[in-house]
Amino acid sequence: MIKEFIQLIYPDFCSGCKHQLLFSEKSICSSCLSEFRMSSKINNHRYYGRKLINKEIYASNFFKNKLLQKMIHEIKYNGNKGTAYVLGIELGYLIKDCCNYKEFDFIIPVPTSEIKKLKRGYNQSELIANGVSKIIKKPILINYLLRENNLNSYKYKRWKNVDQQYKLAKPLIENSNILLIDDVVTTGATINSCVEAILAKTKKIKITVGALAGNK
């Protein structure tokens, strides 16, 4: 009752369409969620850069989905943590429906730089991973995959430098099945670098990539 009263005075708005949310809605209205669910992308056994990924699961194509672009902008630049979590839940359902999700041992979110995390107050990939974990019931490994912060990342040097930006704090269990979670996959450079960092310390491992959006 108190929560409803507060929402009447300080209403919440949808991160997609900006319409006022109903009491039962969280961060995203039911209409925008329905639109978001209409597209999904599953790529089997594709190479991203130089490393083989077992499977890629995208909820949408980033460059074609204007609604998702708005919501990701809200997550990254307007502090809308709830949207990241809700979209993570949606991604979790997609993963549950299209994969043998019980085979996953761990979820690893792609780390962001400390500067961005301090500025934003959170790592959006962790919030997305929290939503995925709620659905598939797998533990999240935080601070296993780390990002170096002292490297240049200009676009024209992206592939050269991104290889060195990530490292694994300690080896994972061999023959593990890992679900690597990111918000958006564009060039694949970040994912490739994360996979290289994991394989540098753990050779026998299976990696699936899950993201809200990709460029395929």
- Model pLDDT for residues 101-127, shown as the tens digit of each residue: 999 999 999 999 888 888 899 999 999
What is the reported pLDDT for 151? 46
Q: Where are the domains of the chain?
A: 40-214
Q: Tell me the CATH class for 40-214.
A: alpha beta
What is the reported pLDDT for 98? 86
Q: Per the structure block, which two tokens stand in for 10?
A: 């300080």
What pLDDT digit, counting tens, does each position of 149-206 carry?
A: 644 444 445 445 555 589 999 889 999 999 999 999 988 889 989 999 999 888 889 9
* DSSP single-letter state for residue 194: H
CB contact burial 20-46 (16+ within 10 A = b; e otherwise): ebeeebebbbeebbebbeeebbeeeee
In this predicted structure, the answer to whether residue 11 has a pLDDT above a threshold of 90 is: no
Residue 62 has a CB neighbour count (10 Å cut-off) of: 21
